[in-house]
Structure 1
Amino acid sequence: MRMVRYCLKADREFDSSIIFFYIGFLNIWNLRTGKYPIHRFEHDARIQALALSQEDATIATASAFDVVMLCPNEEGNLQIAAEFEVQKLVDYLEIVPDTERYPVAVATAGDLVYLLKAEDSARTLHYVYGQPVTCLDVSANQAAFGVKSLGWVYEGNKILVYSLEAERCVSKLGNALGDFTCVNLRDSPPNLMVSGNMDRRVRIHDLRTDSIALSISAHQLGVSAVQMDDWKIVSGGEEGLVSVWDYRMSQKLWEVHSRHPVRHISFNSHSLITAHVPYERVVRSADLDNFATHRRHRGLIQAYAFAVDQLAFQSTVPICRSSCDAMPGYNYDLALAFPPDSI
């Protein structure tokens, strides 16, 4: 049986486009215009990584040893803006925001980090043999990625911050026993960055002093996803727990649990999207009907709305709510609830 590989991504407003891919096919949908794809692109091999720009319709995909960047032309149709060849299979891929004329991306492949500019060939931004990259995020002028410690010289796992303009390392952060599994640079306040680690902790890093401004013990089985804004952190763990923190007070405000580990988190001022992917995605039974109906083999995409009106009458801060009566999540006296819907 040929298994399907898929990924869902959307921009920060959650209403412009969504991408579904399997094997080597990439389908691009517009959520406002209808149920049929507006563009289809085919690779020769399965797609390993995908990135969607938050500013425009630029898309980057990695398949085998090729990275392709798609951009809309004057008529609005997507076309290939650049193609790159790399030496190893790509693990992580991100599009750099706020680039003016030419799209720019950063890709990691094992212990290599590439800077991909549409008007240039692939350039090696970072490489240390035997030091694989474990997570990646980018901002308009920097890239941050976690690296494992060298096997023969233990220094602790770190996050390296590179200047994309100077193409050099400007900060070395952390010295953790566990692997850094996620990092959020793009959405963090100026001079701050948040990361998650397999040692169960969420850390806020001060980029001005290369120090840890705050460390929170967050998830029992390790942190798998994290995002930060100017006052709160949303973190997800391998145990399936999603937590909202007010980092100014080091206080947890809300949490909800799902069966599967949290793999993706994305929120803005009014919405929160979480994606839960099961460890076992291979059906051990030959009963296909059981596979179609049994929830243990299904991933979940959960959508939450941040309360902004008087319905959250007892809330001191605007967190998630819905009209359902059951509130299995902890509310910490904030009158919080969440929708039971799952896609």
Structure 2
Amino acid sequence: MLPFAQTSTAKCYPVRLGCVDVWSTVTGLEPIHQYQHLQRVHVLDLSPDGPALASASGPDVRVDAPDEQGYWRSQSLVQLPKPVDGVLVVPGKRDIPLVTAWAGESVYLLNSRPEEEQEPRVLHSVYGHPVTCVDTSPSRAAMGIKSCGWGMNDGGNKIQVYGLESGQCELTMGNSAGDFTCVNLRDSGPHLLLCGNRDRRVRVFDLRTGSSVLSLYAHHMGVTAVQADDWRIVSGGGEGLVIVWEMRIGAKLWEMHNRHPVRHIRFSSSTLVTANIPDEKSPRGACITDDDLTAHRRYRGLICHYDFSMDSSSQDHILPICRSNYAESSGYNYNIGLSMPYDTLSGP
């Protein structure tokens, strides 16, 4: 489950059994909106472009947003045929929030008003081929499709890209024996799609041709989370390792390891936030350490915040080998410029 979801003005936390609190990052004194599902909330997503929240409990998907007077209300409550695996609020400014939800082998689009009883629109559904991951941009949805049984004869697991307006599959990419575990469409550069796989590789696809333009051997226990911008890739793995890559040359810039698998990643030009969530929340087995607080701490999740906003004008944090200029020819000073992790030097 997501540890939190956030926009520039709101945060959302799943708290008590089935309860959801929405907080303002401006005031923060008390929740600005509260509601409760009948069962445990296991997935939620807060829109990055406005105040809209989607949450799921079992097969139920609820969408909340402010009305014209600014009061938060339930916009829709839809029950899908199977327990929901994930929800995403589609980015972009819209009068009615558009939400993508996936369950089993089906992906749905939800955009009904509270007063309307509209069936969810099926964007993708192939019997026996589960959806393993989904991401959306304002106009497209990309999803990992697991091939099972006879489907393995078609070349393995795939990523399919759909147009949200047309509802048609525009592109099919990939040919992997491993499951696609994460995909990043909204943050990748123009015409690019980033994805991670259980086969330990991070791949970048060109949406114009459907071909792979970069493949990085990244995590020995499989890739669990990815994000990209114009030239950086950040990937997380099941072994707890976070890696920052330079996309243009395929080089590793920085890495950090924590105990548990990296489930979520969010980075900007100067900061990186990761969530490491254990597979199991309590120690296994009955032994003398079961009641030891130290043992229990090992099974707690961890949210890490890394700050890369050092003053690049200062030479103190730059290695001597990286301070050379083209006028110096002695030794091994070749103007390498390795200021980690973003390679930004203010001058010689």
1:107 and 2:101 equivalent?
yes
1:8 and 2:4 equivalent?
yes
Measure, in 2, the Cα distance between the counterparts of 1:21 and 1:50.
12
Match in the other structure for 1:132: 130
Measure, in 2, the Cα distance between the counterparts of 1:162 and 1:234.
25
The one-letter code matched in structure 2 to 1:264 is H
Match in the other structure for 1:194: 194
Match in the other structure for 1:310: 312
Match in the other structure for 2:274: 274
Shift of 1:295: 2.1
Sequence identity (%) = 45
Counterparts of residues 56-71 of structure 1 (less than 5 Å): 56-71=50-65
Shift of 1:66: 1.5
From 322, 339, 345, the equivalent of 1:334 is 339
Shift of 1:85: 1.9
Measure, in 2, the Cα distance between the counterparts of 1:9 and 1:50.
7
Counterparts of residues 173-252 of structure 1 (less than 5 Å): 173-252=173-252
SS in 2 for 1:153: helix
Which structure would you say has the larger Rg? Answer: 2
The one-letter code matched in structure 2 to 1:9 is A
1:94 and 2:88 equivalent?
yes
SS in 2 for 1:297: coil
Measure, in 2, the Cα distance between the counterparts of 1:79 and 1:315.
52
Shift of 1:257: 0.4
1:157 and 2:157 equivalent?
yes
Measure, in 2, the Cα distance between the counterparts of 1:63 and 1:260.
25
Measure, in 2, the Cα distance between the counterparts of 1:231 and 1:98.
23
Match in the other structure for 2:143: 145
Measure, in 1, the Cα distance between the counterparts of 2:108 and 2:268.
29
Query: Is contact 2:2-2:44 (8 Å) kept?
Result: no
The one-letter code matched in structure 2 to 1:37 is P
Q: Which runs of 5+ in 2 are unaligned?
A: 320-336, 343-348
Shift of 1:65: 2.0
SS in 2 for 1:47: coil
From 26, 41, 44, the equivalent of 2:20 is 26
Shift of 1:312: 6.1
Query: Is contact 1:258-1:276 (8 Å) kept?
Result: yes
Alpha-carbon spacing, 1:311–1:240, altered in 2? closer, same or farther (3 Å): farther
Match in the other structure for 1:323: none
| Number of residue-to-residue matches in the alignment | 316
Q: RMSD of the TM alignment (CA)?
A: 2.3
The one-letter code matched in structure 2 to 1:134 is T
Q: Would you identify which runs of 4 or more consecutive aligned residues in structure 1 move more than 4 Å?
A: 283-289
SS in 1 for 2:292: helix
Q: Which runs of 5+ in 1 are unaligned?
A: 317-331, 338-343
TM-score by length of 2: 0.85
1:92-120 Cα deviation digits (max 9, x unpaired): 11111114211101111000111111244
Alpha-carbon spacing, 1:210–1:137, altered in 2? closer, same or farther (3 Å): same
Measure, in 2, the Cα distance between the counterparts of 1:118 and 1:74.
16
1:65-93 Cα deviation digits (max 9, x unpaired): 22110001234331111121211111011
Measure, in 2, the Cα distance between the counterparts of 1:206 and 1:236.
22
Match in the other structure for 1:321: none
Measure, in 2, the Cα distance between the counterparts of 1:199 and 1:168.
28
Match in the other structure for 1:340: none
